[in-house]
Structure formats: C-alpha cells, structure tokens
Amino acid sequence: MTESLTNFLNDQQADPVTVQHAVRYLAASLSDYLPEEEMVERVTEVTGDPETVQSVMAGLQASGTALLAGDLMVLEALWADAATRDLVREAVSGAKNRLPTVTVFVVAAAVIYCAYLLATRGRKSVEKTTEYHRDGTWKTVEKVEYYRTSGPLQDLGQLFSQLDPQQQTPTVAPGQVDPQAPAASADPQSSIPQP
C-alpha cells in the first residue's frame, strides 16, 4: 500500500512553512528555474486571462489559508502520480533545511505555476461519446469535468479549465524528454514537462 501524503508530512514533521517552501522548490524544478515573475507571465500568456491571473494571485497573497490550501492541492496532485511522488519527497525533505523566509508573492507564484502544470490531471470526470453524422462519418466527443474549489482556488481552477486540452501541458514520464518542448530550453537530462 502506498504511503499517503498526510503520513509522509507527519513523518517529516512538516509545518505549513515547510509545505510552502516545498512547493516553491517544486515550482522552480518544474519550470526549469524560471523567476517567479516569468512563471506568472507564462501562466498569463497561456490562459489569455490576465485579470483572473491577477485576481488569483491577489487572493493567494491576501489569505494564508487559501495559500496553504493551494500548496496542499499541488502536493496532493503530484503525490498521487507515482512518476512525481519522489519529487515531492525531495522537495519536502529539502524544505526542512529551508532558506530564510520568502515573500508571499514567491509562494503564490509557485502555487499558480504548479497548478497550471497540474491542470490536465485535475479531472473529475471524462465523458467520451461517439456520434454518427449524416455524412457517414463518426466523431468522438470528449467532455472533461474538473474538480471545483472555492475562493481564489476556484478562480484558479476555472482559469485552467478554459484551456483547450490539445494545448495543455503533456505528462512526460521520468527519463523522457518532451518532444514538443522548445529545443533551446529543453534539457536532455530533464524529466520535467515544459509548458
């Protein structure tokens, strides 16, 4: 049986600050060490919704509860995937020896960027139907329903549920390089998907 994230956090005696630093480390690793401002710019560019991105950022920065909920959402989603569970282990363990306090903006940017990367995995249900058309062709239609949250996290979920699934970040297994990643920014040793 797989250890739960809750048990792992308890075993590590991780406090909320450790969790925040762990998400910051994960965002840095998953983004190939983009500065936080560039993470937010990339999310804004991909979603095409700067008002909602700024609203989510403001909400996360204004509410420690929402920020911690976002951190835990990111950790839970990455923990649920066996391919990224070790990244969470390393980030939490590394966060135990954390650097001096970082700004709330940095942690909020980490949450929003990780949530962006996880958007394709936050599916509540997928409904596929096959339709027959009068011209004699068949078409498969896929309807995806995402988990809902509240407060700033609800806006965050809605922001990414609007994306075309064909344009969302693919999952790349450890040891593989994303073939769609730009050559200039792709690291051949990286197993992290590039948005």
Q: How many helices (H) and strands (E) does the chain have?
A: 8, 2
The 10s digit of each residue's pLDDT in 36-67 is 899 999 889 888 899 999 999 999 999 988 99
Domain residue spans in the chain? 5-121+149-167
> The whole model's pTM is what?
0.58
- Phi and psi (nearest 5°) for 78? -70, -35
Mean pLDDT across the chain: 75
The 10s digit of each residue's pLDDT in 79-105 is 998 889 999 999 999 888 766 556 788
Which pLDDT score, from 0 to 100, does residue 121 have? Answer: 55
Percent of the chain with pLDDT over 90: 27
The 10s digit of each residue's pLDDT in 160-176 is 666 655 554 444 444 44
- Name the strand (E) or helix (H) holding 146: strand 138-146
The 10s digit of each residue's pLDDT in 113-169 is 778 777 755 555 778 888 787 898 888 888 877 544 445 556 666 666 666 555 544
In degrees, to the nearest 5, what angle opens at C-alpha 32 toward C-alphas 105 and 146?
65
Mention every residue, 6+ apart, whose C-beta is less than 8 A from residue 194.
Answer: 32, 169, 178, 180, 181, 182, 185, 186
